[in-house]
Structure 1
Amino acid sequence: MTSFQWADDNVSSSSSITPKFVLPETHRPNLEDISRETIPVIDMNEDHDILVQKIAEACENFGFFQITNHGVKEELCAKVLDVITTFFELSHEKKSHLVSSDHMEDGKIFKYYVKTEEDKIIPMWSEALFHTWDPVDHSYTSNLPQDPTCYRETIAEYGMEIGPLMNRLLSLMSQGLGLDKNRLQSIIGENAAYSAQAHYYPACSNPELTLGLRPHFDLKVLTVILQEGDVTGLHVRKQDKWMAVDPVPGALCHKLGRANAGLKQ
């Protein structure tokens, strides 16, 4: 239910793209076809009734919004980004034991890909780490990388702060639907499945030829995205147009299940 979004490819340590990553024209990003419309940015310190209304409108019209004054410490968010970056910048030798072809294998690194009409597999210009998490039970950290040494404790601390924030958002969304404030949490139940993905994308000299992550729908109820503050790579689709999600200092992004999203370099 939460997702870190930023990013490498140990095969492509330089910014020069190699043929294996070049997509057919039909799969390439159209960097000119970007909507001028902007994603809603919502201040969580707003009056309660106004906050409920704004979140309801953002969910209905976009399925995606950013929030500020969310209560997750800025220094912790920076620490999460730093520890993830440090992990992905480790040598291939230090990470090779974590590589898997299964993108749902807990605590493993994998690569997304595009399968063309000719059944050709083309890897994305990125690398990802998948793992489960829980806002209370920290036993999941045994499946996390041990290098860097502070990785496990940093992610556990972040999870403890993201959990209550997600519950608050679900409550506000319930009220925006005219339901009891605990309705969505009760539907999800006590056995909610929490998962996280860290995405790492190296600089690319030819971004028009490849993608960091293919367009996709998230199947989780709610996804929280922590972006690098100086990189515009995340895009969401509204109707027939892509919209850039420009990073807002100190903000977290929130995406509903089935909201269409992709990452373009």
Structure 2
Amino acid sequence: MSAWNRTGPVVVEVDGSAENLRVVDYASAEALRMGAELVLVAPYSAHGSYSPMMPGYAPKPPAEAADAAVRVAVAHVRHRDGYATELVAVTEEGSRLRVLAAAARKARMLVVGRSCSRGPQRLVHSQANLTLAGRAGCPVVVVPLSWRPSLVDRKVAVGIDGTALSAEALEFAFGVAAGREGELVVVHAGLPAGRRFVEEDPDGSWISRADYVLSETLAPWTSRFPDVRVTRFLSSRPPAAALVHESGDVGLVVVGAHGGRLPIDPVARRSAAAMTCPVAIVPHHLTVAEGMRLEPARTVVGTH
């Protein structure tokens, strides 16, 4: 069982846009539910976007714009929640990755908005959030800019694959479901290599093996969170497709992802790009034993 747990603040990215206030709403609701401090962070570049080819356009200096953005966000939270939540506002010059990762290093979660871009560009932004999760070491919750509270928020889905990669994701998902007094849908998807349809497995061996993996993986967590109602979902779809399908009926989808400075995780990247609800990217922290198993491979790669 994972010993990974955090009791720090909820950190949220502030960018000054009207749509971003919905992301702040999501983060403030989570902080209020957890009894956690809410930290509003606005990264900014020292170089503004002013161009002499745009007469009459003279934006505020970046530092002033960031200060104004967090003031608006603080006023918005106070108007909504009063003084029920302890707030901290931070503006800092630097790249989004560096500033947010540093601010969230001891956080229980980092909340960011989902890019409005489409196609390949959205995958690029999803990879950036994957990298952010790896650097910060905490779950990064990506919230669609159209998000609004709804009855399905109490329902959480999590994808597992039977490996250690799922450990932190399961812990986080069970914790969120318990905090929301909701239901948890556990998704195990993807046929073994060489099989295209469930019909090719007439004796049900794949289903039996998958159900066994679910039972073994869930046993420690169901005993630790006995009040969380768990629904198992086996699917022959590719993992990302199965998770995206579930996202239409839940308030949060949780996916495990490889940690590290440059994580490569196609399932998490595609899931984060295509979800219709908020998605939590939970980085996996290598144990000492896992690191030792990987070390020979790294040595071999380094000798070529």
TM exceeds 0.5?
no
Rg larger in structure:
2
Q: Which structure's relative contact order is higher, taking Cα pairs within 8 Å and 6+ residues apart? A: 1
Larger strand fraction of residues: 1
Larger helix fraction of residues: 2
